[in-house]
Amino acid sequence: MSNEKHLAVAGATGAVGIEMLKCLEERNFPIGELTLLASSRSAGRKLSFRGSEVEVQELTPDSFRGVDLALFSAGSGISREFAPHAVEAGAVVVDNSSAFRMDDEVPLVVPEINPEDVALQHGVIANPNCTTIITLMGLQPLHAEFGVEQVIASSYQAVSGSGAQGIVELEGQIKAIAGDGEVEKKIYPHQIAHNVIPQVDAFLENGYTKEEMKMQNEGRKILHAPDFTASVTCVRVPVYRSHSVAVTASFRKPVDVERAREVIDAAPGVRVMDDPAAGLYPTPLDATDGDDCLVGRIRKDLVFENGLSFWVVGDQVRKGAALNAVQIAELL
């Protein structure tokens, strides 16, 4: 019996959808038939996959007949509308949006951290938030060794996290400034070129943004740690790709810096780059187009008795979205 699957990608023409196709091709995922789906505006467009041109079809409720696996990368509204149709047709959905992440019936999975949760699926598996994934890739090995209790973190999030239009806005503003032209703001509430903006997503009543609360809420679910708490500030920075996060974590057990380096470097999907004396620590350019998350600046924290501080960087389009979804599909 063939292991090849009929796989569909919903939102195939978007940045994450295109990256999903790249990951599927690079990792030689066993695909017998590939269906590419997008809005009516993109229907008819052709995308390259394994040396062939595949025509994009319009996403409709009937698009999933005969599909085994459906990767969704088209936003929460699309997922809520069309994922039930895919499940009803017999497909398992791996959803990259926020639509189902906190649903008790839907597992939230980072394959290197909680692969066993895939077995709990009832047709839908959720991909976590990109900043949550990148942070937990560095944090989980430490949690396994020392037992994490609290986290204080600040993210430095690339404009591609806002989609292609975030990149267009940054590029346009840089050109406008260089040419003494007028800076246009459409995607962000303030100029992003030569600036940082301490707001990612909408503010909540507690003063945090939706993005900032995801690390605590999703982290509890992924780590199976209901008492885990996180105070986070998410910042948009004028970087094209790859998110960075400065993390300070307190643990139940006494911590050791050398042991921390060892357990992080031994974990799958994460790599230590940590020799400050030689100027070695990860930057967004180091992580871009790579599968691994990179960790550096590992040091004993000066506030928490059992605390460590570190810096973690990851490509949020790949490991923060497309690659993680493909890895979930591989588990299935």
192 and 120 housed in the same domain: no
Beta bridge partners of 38: 58
Strand partners, 148: 251
Sequence-separated (6 or more) residues with CB below 8 Å from residue 258: none
Check whether residue 179 and residue 264 sit in a common domain.
yes
Q: In Å, what is the CA distance from 79 to each residue of 83, 138, 328?
A: 5, 29, 17
Number of domains in the chain: 2
Give the integer Cα–Cα distance in Å for 208 and 218. Answer: 15
CB atoms within 10 A of CB 65: 12
**97 and 32, same domain (yes or no):** yes
Residues 156, 294, single domain; the answer is: yes
- pLDDT tens by residue, the chain, 332 residues: 368 999 999 999 999 999 999 999 999 999 999 999 999 999 999 999 999 999 999 999 999 999 999 999 989 999 999 999 999 999 999 999 999 999 999 999 999 999 999 999 999 999 999 999 999 999 999 999 999 999 999 999 999 999 889 999 999 999 999 999 999 999 999 999 999 999 999 999 999 999 999 999 999 999 999 999 999 999 999 999 999 999 999 999 999 999 999 999 999 999 999 999 999 999 999 999 999 999 999 999 999 999 999 999 999 999 999 999 999 999 99
Classify the phi-psi angles of 289: left when phi > 0, otherwise alpha if psi is within -120 to 50, otherwise beta.
left
Q: How far apart are CA 175 and CA 170, in angstroms?
A: 9
Mark whether 171 and 36 lie in a shared domain. Answer: no
β-bridge mates for residue 207, sequence order: none
> What is the model's pLDDT at position 2?
64
Give the H/E segment covering residue 70: strand 69-72
Question: Within this chain, do residues 144 and 181 fall inside the same structural domain, yes or no?
Answer: yes
Shared domain check, 36 and 148: no
Domain that holds residue 201: 132-316
130 in active site: yes
Unique residue bearing structure tokens 């350019």: 285
**Same-domain pairing of 161 and 301:** yes
| CATH number, position 255 | 3.30.360.10
pTM given for the model: 0.96
pLDDT at res. 1: 37
Are 225 and 87 found together in one domain? no
CATH of the domain at 38: 3.40.50.720
The catalytic position among 130, 143, 234, 293 is 130
Catalytic annotation present for 224: no
Q: Which of 85, 234, 243, 293 is catalytic?
A: 243
**DSSP line for 246-273:** EEEEEESS---HHHHHHHHHHSTTEEE-
Shared domain for 75 and 212, answered yes or no, is no
- Structural contact between residues 31 and 5, judged by C-beta atoms closer than 8 angstroms: yes
CA 55 to each of CA 9, 61, 189, 234: distance values in angstroms, whole numbers, following the listed order: 12, 18, 37, 38
Radius of gyration for the chain, computed over Cα atoms and rounded to the nearest angstrom:
20
78, 90: one domain: yes
**Residues 6 or more apart whose Cβ sits within 8 Å of residue 33:** 4, 6, 7, 66
DSSP secondary structure letter of residue 136: H
Residue length of the chain: 332
SS (H, E, C) 158-222: CHHHHCHHHHHHHHHHHHHHHCCCCCCCCCCCCCCCCCCECCCCCECCCCCEHHHHHHHHHHHHH
Q: Answer yes or no: are the C-beta atoms of 215 and 137 closer than 8 Å.
A: no
Whether residue 211 sits in one domain with residue 293: yes
